Amino acid sequence: MTEKMTSPKIVGERIKEYLKEGKRFDGRKPEEFREIKIETGVSQNAEGSARVKVGKTEILVGIKMNVGEPYPDSPESGNIIVTAELLPLSSPRYEPGPPKFPAIELGRVLDRAIRESKFIDLKKLCIKKGEKVWTIFIDVYSINDDGNLLDAANIGIVAALKTARIPKYDEKEDKVLFGELTNKKIPLSKEIPLSITAHKIGDNFIIDPTKEEEDLSETRITVGSTGEHICSLQKGEIAPIEIKELYEVLDLVEKTYKNIFKKIEKFLK
């Protein structure tokens, strides 16, 4: 199917009508997620990895670690670098080439949720103050895009980080022995950051849209939170929202966070 053959206007009308009654085509409620499947340890060469499927959307996350110098303004802290790639194989809409805005935004919004929540204890990643710290590379790849890559990717990042193990580091030779993992895990906080994006279609907000629904999104708000605290926010696309709608979204996200967390808890051990 060519890219243009998506979400015709008349389907949009139906989706909006149905939403007014609080219903969606696949029988979900507006705040309901599709089925979530998580597999960790799917990559031999990564220090941590996860494959997450949310409905037909599939993403792959890999954690790689390396030792290097800290940034001058944070001599005692390790580093996090989050990169997202929208692979051409995951959708007819993506082309090979340098990352365009959607991939860049995806990486940056995910970065914010992970970084600002202080999920990773960067101070514990310091090996020698001012000289040697661990850098954690979090690489996200889309494998099939059927909407809501962001929320799915966040789940993948958390699962991958939780199950990752730190590789051996030979201090004398200043070499990381890739492939030789210690039993040490990445120092993580107990509060789990999740990104949940609410999309406005007509007068209603929905969570976890399929591609068909995502195409109708007039504006979206991604809330990164740990349940207790909100650590990141991003409003995307054009339509403005009322202040009370923002509060509605925050309530919706709070409720959804609890539901999602219950579903994915067992994968985060």
Task: Pick from 40, 49, 154, 197 the residue near other proteins by CB under 8 A.
Answer: 49
Q: Specify the stretch interacting with other proteins by CB under 8 A; choose among 15-23, 126-134, 222-230, 256-264.
A: 15-23
User: 208 or 252: whose CB is closer to other proteins?
Assistant: 208
Q: Report DSSP state, residue 120.
A: B
Q: How far is the CB of 40 from other proteins (least distance, A)?
A: 13
Instruction: Tell me if 261 contacts other proteins by CB under 8 A.
Output: no
Instruction: Tell me if 146 contacts other proteins by CB under 8 A.
Output: yes
The Cα-based distances of 253 to 3, 36, 225 in angstroms read: 31, 17, 9
Q: Report DSSP state, residue 203.
A: T
Instruction: Tell me if 17 contacts other proteins by CB under 8 A.
Output: yes
Instruction: Tell me if 10 contacts other proteins by CB under 8 A.
Output: yes
The Cα-based distances of 151 to 52, 252, 265 in angstroms read: 10, 15, 16
Task: Pick from 76, 85, 105, 254 the residue near other proteins by CB under 8 A.
Answer: 85
Q: How far is the CB of 58 from other proteins (least distance, A)?
A: 8
Task: Pick from 31, 52, 114, 139 the residue near other proteins by CB under 8 A.
Answer: 139
Instruction: Tell me if 218 contacts other proteins by CB under 8 A.
Output: no
β partners of residue 194: 225
Phi, psi of 264 (to 5 degrees): -105, -5
Q: Specify the stretch interacting with other proteins by CB under 8 A; choose among 14-22, 150-158, 197-205, 223-231.
A: 14-22
Cα–Cα nearest to 25, from 167, 149, 201, 233: 201
Instruction: Tell me if 179 contacts other proteins by CB under 8 A.
Output: yes
Instruction: Tell me if 22 contacts other proteins by CB under 8 A.
Output: no
User: 4 or 266: whose CB is closer to other proteins?
Assistant: 4
Q: Specify the stretch interacting with other proteins by CB under 8 A; choose among 126-134, 136-144, 151-159, 187-195.
A: 136-144
* d(C-alpha 161, C-alpha 182), whole Å: 15
Strands (E), the chain: 36-40, 48-54, 57-68, 79-85, 126-128, 132-144, 165-170, 175-185, 194-201, 204-207, 219-225, 230-236
β partners of residue 219: 200
- Cβ-count burial 153-180 (b if 16+ within 10 Å, e if not): bbbbbbbbbbbbebbebeeeeeebeeee
Q: How far is the CB of 138 from other proteins (least distance, A)?
A: 10
* Residues contributing to the site for other proteins (CB under 8 A): 1-2, 4-5, 8-11, 13-14, 17-18, 21, 25, 43-46, 49, 56, 58, 60, 62-64, 66, 83, 85, 87-92, 96, 98-99, 137, 139, 141, 143-146, 178-179
